[in-house]
């Protein structure tokens, strides 16, 4: 191609000469410019277009790569974990910006098992409405965001629930000044709820099955919902009971509000992963089980090093001094040691974040171990 | 030698070449074919890729979810809706709520915008400065912020239902909304409505007749008695003959909320106010620009013809200004409609909130729902824009331009 300086040829172009005016910025067919200039303009545009298209194709095709989450996480050097936008006790940043909470500990435990470092987690705050899309699209590796396990979420969303780290139920928060003592007295009330939750559907079911009328006002984020409740827009705020206790702490006068005794649903909350990567599913599932089993075997953050020297065959198996159970998962032999050293066992995490040792002060209740009257039961590590 | 003009050479192939290939000839045609093939392949690849990935992860797909039961409540529905209705119904409820807020927002924004725009041009110093301050404050604050201001700082401070601000027991204002007595239709409602319709028809016919008389013979007909008689008199006579068409049912406080009566929820009020006040600031500037674009001489010419100031504005300046105003005004209407999707921040159940929000997170079918929602917003925008183009064309015709 002949080298032509575009600046010297543009004046020959009819547009530049002013003999042709451009209808809507388009060069009219038949308008003739300098022959060499046409070549330049065309070549330039076409080349740029082609590059852009190739880049786009490359981008879309590479999306279909297989699901190797463990490898991706290791290569990245950190775990990407979807959490709430700030629910004290479950997942909330403290005054130094460190995320803490029961749900956060699950992610920290996974990171500890992989990297032996519970801080190698990137937390992604998500609204209830956006959480599943973020997991489906691969933006996060694990969703640990007080998410209720239901059959439709487990099947049609393309997700797998890995277990239950908190057994919850839905309740109502009301002003004490309303003098309401039971959820059955809420006929005709306005109720605030966060959209995209099971709470929204349970609410509809509860009022319908009890032949009560209600007005629902649904907000996208928990903060907006609580703000509307506090401003008096709603008579009641409904959510999982643990969340009600947690949100009540954020109100101006927490003692003016009470949680009604009725629990209207089952809300088993747990971590979630994508379909299609069984190894990753196993890792997240057994990390949670390991925390629960560690509590059952009384392995704590403090005594884990001394427990390594024990003769108890079960503890030896769990802590990896006997057998290679961790390697079967794609991790190391000492994976449970790493988890317990990093975040502690399930009971320690519970006490620290939501239990008596925390601001929330929720009793263990259903979440006690199975041999202590609760329903937390993990399959054995062997 | 024949002098007659030579027949032109056959133009078909060169013409086709020019139409398809532009200046580059057949090479260009080939290039375009390749490009089209490439775009089609790219589109196919994207769809196939998405589908393969969704199948690999076993994410549900297809539009079957539209007939499933929604199972959640909505605070404002213009058509009967209950939790046991389908997602399709939720979609319609959301769409109607979006259209309602857009239509009322557009109307309000236009009125406020014209008033502020004209006010800013007023020779009255105070009025012009006030209008200027309005524009500068409102258009420089984020819309979401204004929305939350109206919702949380203004409407939420209203008293609770038990301490409602009331007007004679018929109208109540509280933090649950604005409750008014509900009109109940009686047997004579439709005859009266029919009479009113006929009255409107007569009024229009009288107007057309008066216009024709003015244009053809220069006669000014006095038609207001006819219009008044047909619009008010006719329905009144029917109502007197058959009984009152409507009665009003006062709302009663029962338990937590008012029962009976019509209620306008505060979410709707906040959203409509925020959208129309925000958009009005931009419309005001568009109106000001449009009027300033009309040559001063036009105003002077009008007054030298002996037209009053108002008549000059109405008959000469505004029609010319409209040609400048309409295209950017259309943009503002489209913006307002699309901005209505901020509704989710204040819990107003618009299309985006109930369909692309709740329905999406319940069914998890993001691709289908986002495609439907985008299509609907696109359609609303295209219809608005077409209507405005048509109106602009009419205005242009009126000015003798095409």
Residue A134 has pLDDT above 60, yes or no: yes
Q: In what order do the strands lie in the sheet with A236-240?
A: A214-219, A189-194, A236-240, A170-175, A257-259
Q: Considering CB atoms only, which of B24, B73, B366 is closest to A133?
A: B366
- The CATH classification number of A170-264 equals 3.40.190.10
Q: Do A42 and B24 touch (CB under 8 A)?
A: yes
pLDDT of residue A39: 45
Which residues lie closer than 8 Å to A249 by C-beta, 6 or more apart? A88, A359, A360
Residue A106 near residue A90, CB atoms below 8 Å: no
Contact B267 A155 (CB under 8 A): no
CA distances from A329 to A281, A319, A338, B104, B246 (A): 10, 14, 14, 60, 74
Residues of A in contact with B365 (CB under 8 A): 156
Mean pLDDT across A258-283? 94
**Mean pLDDT lowest for which of A41-50, A115-124, A239-248, B15-24?**
A41-50
| A116 backbone φψ class: left, alpha, beta (φ>0; ψ -120 to 50) | left
> Which one of B27, B358, B373 would you mutate to disrupt binding with A, by most A Cβ within 10 Å of its Cβ?
B358
Strand partners, A87: A91
Q: Residue A57: its chain B contacts at CB < 8 A?
A: 42, 45
To the nearest whole percent, how much of chain A has pLDDT over 70?
Answer: 82
Closest CA to A127 of A223, A204, A201, A216: A223
**What's the topology of domain A69-167+269-372?**
D-Maltodextrin-Binding Protein; domain 2 (3.40.190)
Asked whether residue B341 carries a pLDDT value surpassing 90, the answer given is yes
What is the rounded average pLDDT for all residues in chain B?
88
Q: Cβ B353–A218 below 8 Å, yes or no?
A: yes
Residue A6 is predicted with a pLDDT of 45
Tell me how close the Cα of B107 comes to any Cα of chain A, in angstroms.
Answer: 26
Distances (CA, A) of B100 to A159, A215, B369: 37, 20, 21
Residue A233: what are its φ and ψ, rounded to 5°?
-65, -30
Which phi and psi (to 5°) does residue A226 adopt? -65, -40
Q: What pLDDT shows up at residue A51?
A: 58
For residue B126, tell me if it sits in a domain: yes
- The percentage of chain B sitting over the pLDDT mark of 90, rounded to a whole number, equals 42
Tell me the chain B residues in contact with residue A232 when contact means C-beta distances shorter than 8 Å: 156, 160, 175
Number of domain units in chain B: 1
The verdict on a CB contact (< 8 Å) between B358 and A200 is: yes
Rg (CA), chain B: 29
Query: A217 and B347: CB-CB below 8 Å?
Result: yes
Residue partners of B128: CB distance under 8 A and separation at least 6? B119, B120, B121, B122
Q: What is the pLDDT of residue A69?
A: 93
- Range with lowest mean pLDDT among A64-73, A208-217, B88-97, B201-210: A64-73
- The confidence score (pLDDT) of residue B32 equals 84
pLDDT in tens, B129-185: 999 999 999 999 999 999 999 998 988 888 888 788 877 777 888 888 888 887 787
Residue B293 binned pLDDT confidence (cut-offs 50, 70, 90): very high
Report the mean per-residue pLDDT for chain A: 85
- Residue A63: per-residue pLDDT: 44
Residue A183 scores a pLDDT above 90:
yes
Q: What percent of chain B has pLDDT over 70?
A: 98
What are the residue ranges spanned by the domains of chain A?
6-62, 69-167+269-372, 170-264
Taking CA A162 as the corner, what is the angle to CA A158 and CA A168, rounded to the nearest 5 degrees?
A: 105
Q: How far does the CA of residue B254 sit from the closest CA of chain A (Å)? A: 8
Higher pLDDT, A48 or B320: B320
Distances (CA, A) of B118 to A73, B129, B399: 61, 12, 22
Name the more confident of B241 and A269: A269
Q: Is the pLDDT of residue A223 over 60?
A: yes
Q: Which residues of A touch B89 (CB under 8 A)?
A: none
Which one of B19, B46, B358 has the shortest CB-CB distance to A196?
Answer: B358
CB-CB under 8 Å, B38 with A187: no
Task: Pick A156's closest partner by Cβ from B56, B60, B361.
Answer: B60
| DSSP track, B364-377 | --HHHHHHHHHHHH
Reading the block at residue B9, the tokens are 């050479």
Q: Is B65's pLDDT higher than 50?
A: yes
pLDDT at residue number A102? 96
Q: Which of A31, A128, A232 is nearest residue B361 as measured by Cβ atoms?
A: A128
- pLDDT: which is higher, B377 or B227: B377
CB contact under 8 A, A29 and B349: no
What's the token pair of residue B2?
A: 């024949």
Could you tell me how many residues make up chain A?
Answer: 382
Confidence of residue A53 (pLDDT cuts 50, 70, 90): low
The pLDDT confidence band at residue B385, using thresholds 50, 70 and 90, is very high
Strands of chain A (E only): list them: 79-83, 92-93, 99-100, 121-125, 142-143, 159-161, 166-168, 170-175, 189-194, 214-219, 236-240, 257-259, 267-269, 272-274
Q: Specify the higher pLDDT residue, A65 or A73.
A: A73
Reading phi first (left if > 0) and then psi (alpha if -120 to 50, else beta), residue B42 is in alpha
Segment B219-265, tens digit of pLDDT: 777 888 888 888 888 888 888 888 777 777 778 887 788 877 788 99
Answer whether A69-167+269-372 and A170-264 agree in fold.
Answer: yes
A79-83 and A142-143 as β-strands: parallel, antiparallel, unpaired?
Answer: parallel
> Which DSSP helix (H) or strand (E) runs through B166?
strand B165-167
Indicate the burial class of B153 (C-beta count within 10 angstroms; 0-12, 13-18, 19 or more).
exposed
Write down the pLDDT at residue A111: 96
Instruction: Tell me if B273 is assigned to some domain.
Output: yes
Give the pLDDT score at A289.
96
Contacting residues for A96 by C-beta, under 8 A, at least 6 apart: none
User: Three-state SS for B86?
Assistant: strand
Nearest chain B residue to A200 by CA distance is B72
Asked if pLDDT for residue B400 goes beyond 60, the answer is no
Q: Specify whether the CB–CB gap between A297 and A382 falls below 8 A.
A: no
Tell me the shortest Cα–Cα distance from A337 to chain B, in angstroms. 33
Inspect the interface and report whether the beta carbons of A189 and B56 lie closer than 8 Å: no
For residue range A204-214, what is the model confidence (pLDDT) as tens digits?
A: 999 999 999 89
What pLDDT digit, counting tens, does each position of A319-360 carry? 998 888 999 999 999 999 999 999 999 999 999 999 988 988
Q: What is the pLDDT of residue A99?
A: 95
Q: Are A189 and A182 in contact (CB under 8 A)?
A: no
| Environment class of A31 (CB within 10 Å of its CB; exposed 0-12, middle 13-18, buried 19+) | middle
Task: Show the tokens assigned to A309.
Answer: 């020297």
Higher pLDDT, A169 or B313: A169
Q: What is the mean pLDDT of residues A29-37?
A: 46
Looking at residue A15, its pLDDT comes to: 46
As a residue count, chain B comes to 402
CB contact under 8 A, B59 and A157: yes
Measured between alpha carbons, how far is B374 from A94 in angstroms, rounded to an integer?
Answer: 39
**What average pLDDT does this structure show over B276-280?**
97
Closest CA to A192 of A151, A149, A247: A247
Which of the four pLDDT bands, split at 50, 70 and 90, describes residue A32? very low
B179 found inside a domain: no
ipTM score for this prediction: 0.76
């Amino acid at each position: 191609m002949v080298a032509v300086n575009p600046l010297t040829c543009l004046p020959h172009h009819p547009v530049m000469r002013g003999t042709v005016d451009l209808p809507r910025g388009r060069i009219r067919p038949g308008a003739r410019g300098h022959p060499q200039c046409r070549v330049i303009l065309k070549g330039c545009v076409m080349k740029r277009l082609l590059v852009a298209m190739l880049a786009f194709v490359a981008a879309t095709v590479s999306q279909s790569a297989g699901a190797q989450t463990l490898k991706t996480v290791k290569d990245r050097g950190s775990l990407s974990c979807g959490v709430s936008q700030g629910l004290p006790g479950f997942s909330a940043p403290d005054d130094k910006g460190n995320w803490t909470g029961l749900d956060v500990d699950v992610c920290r435990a996974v990171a500890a098992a992989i990297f032996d470092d519970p801080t190698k987690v990137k937390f992604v705050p998500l609204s209830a409405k956006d959480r599943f899309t973020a997991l489906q699209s691969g933006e996060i590796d694990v969703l640990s965001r007080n998410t209720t396990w239901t059959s439709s979420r487990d099947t049609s969303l393309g997700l797998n629930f890995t277990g239950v780290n908190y057994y919850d139920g839905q309740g109502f928060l009301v002003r004490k000044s309303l003098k309401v003592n039971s959820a059955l007295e809420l006929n005709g009330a306005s109720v605030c709820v966060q959209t995209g939750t099971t709470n929204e559907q349970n609410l509809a079911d509860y009022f319908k099955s009890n032949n009560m009328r209600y007005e629902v006002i649904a907000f996208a984020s928990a903060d907006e919902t609580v703000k509307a409740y506090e401003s008096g827009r709603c008579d009641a705020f409904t959510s999982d009971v643990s969340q009600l206790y947690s949100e009540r702490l954020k109100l101006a006068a927490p003692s003016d509000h009470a949680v009604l005794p009725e629990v209207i649903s089952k809300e088993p909350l747990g971590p979630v992963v994508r379909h299609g990567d069984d190894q990753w599913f196993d890792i997240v599932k057994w990390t949670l089980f390991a925390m629960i089993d560690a509590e059952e075997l009384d392995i704590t953050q403090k005594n884990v090093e001394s427990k390594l020297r024990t003769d108890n065959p079960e503890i030896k198996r769990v802590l990896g001094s006997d057998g290679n159970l961790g390697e079967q998962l794609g991790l190391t032999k000492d994976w449970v040691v790493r988890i317990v050293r990093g975040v502690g066992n399930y009971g320690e995490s519970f006490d620290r974040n939501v239990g008596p040792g925390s601001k929330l002060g929720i009793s263990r209740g259903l979440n006690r171990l199975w041999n202590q009257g609760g329903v937390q039961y993990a399959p054995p590590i062997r | 030698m024949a002098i007659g003009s030579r027949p032109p050479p056959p133009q078909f192939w060169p013409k086709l070449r020019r139409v398809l290939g532009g200046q580059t000839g057949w090479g260009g045609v080939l290039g375009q074919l390749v490009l089209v093939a490439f775009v089609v392949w790219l589109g196919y690849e994207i769809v196939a890729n998405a589908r393969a990935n969704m199948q690999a992860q076993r994410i549900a797909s297809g539009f079957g979810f539209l007939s499933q039961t929604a199972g959640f409540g909505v605070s404002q529905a213009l058509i009967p809706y209950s939790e046991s209705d389908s997602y399709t119904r939720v979609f319609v409820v959301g769409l109607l709520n979006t259209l309602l807020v857009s239509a009322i927002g557009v109307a309000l924004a236009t009125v406020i915008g014209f008033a502020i725009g004209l006010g800013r041009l007023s020779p009255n110093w105070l009025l012009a400065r006030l209008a200027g301050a309005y524009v500068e404050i409102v258009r420089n604050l984020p819309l979401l912020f204004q929305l939350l201001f109206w919702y949380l700082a203004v409407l939420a401070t209203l008293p609770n239902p038990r301490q409602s601000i009331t007007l004679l027991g018929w109208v109540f204002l509280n933090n649950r909304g604005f409750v008014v007595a509900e009109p109940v239709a009686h047997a004579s409602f439709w005859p009266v409505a029919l009479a009113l319709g006929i009255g409107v028809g007569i009024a229009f016919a009288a107007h057309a007749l008066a216009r024709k008389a003015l244009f053809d013979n220069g006669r000014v007909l006095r038609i207001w008695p006819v219009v008044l008689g047909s619009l008010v008199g006719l329905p009144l006579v029917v109502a007197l003959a058959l009984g009152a068409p409507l009665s009003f049912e006062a709302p009663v406080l029962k338990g937590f909320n008012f029962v009976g009566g019509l209620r306008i929820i505060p979410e709707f009020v906040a959203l409509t106010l925020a959208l129309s006040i925000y958009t009005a600031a931009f419309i005001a500037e568009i109106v000001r620009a449009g009027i300033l674009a009309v040559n001063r001489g036009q105003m002077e010419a009008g007054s030298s013809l002996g037209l009053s100031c108002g008549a000059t504005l109405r008959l000469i300046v505004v029609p010319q200004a409209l040609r400048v105003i309409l295209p950017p005004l259309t943009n503002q209407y489209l913006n307002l409609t699309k901005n209505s999707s901020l509704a989710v921040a204040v819990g107003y159940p618009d299309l985006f909130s109930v369909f692309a929000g709740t329905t999406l997170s319940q069914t998890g079918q993001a691709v289908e729902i986002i495609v439907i929602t985008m299509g609907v917003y696109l359609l609303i925008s295209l219809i608005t824009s077409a209507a405005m183009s048509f109106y602009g064309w009419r205005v242009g015709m009126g000015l003798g331009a095409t």
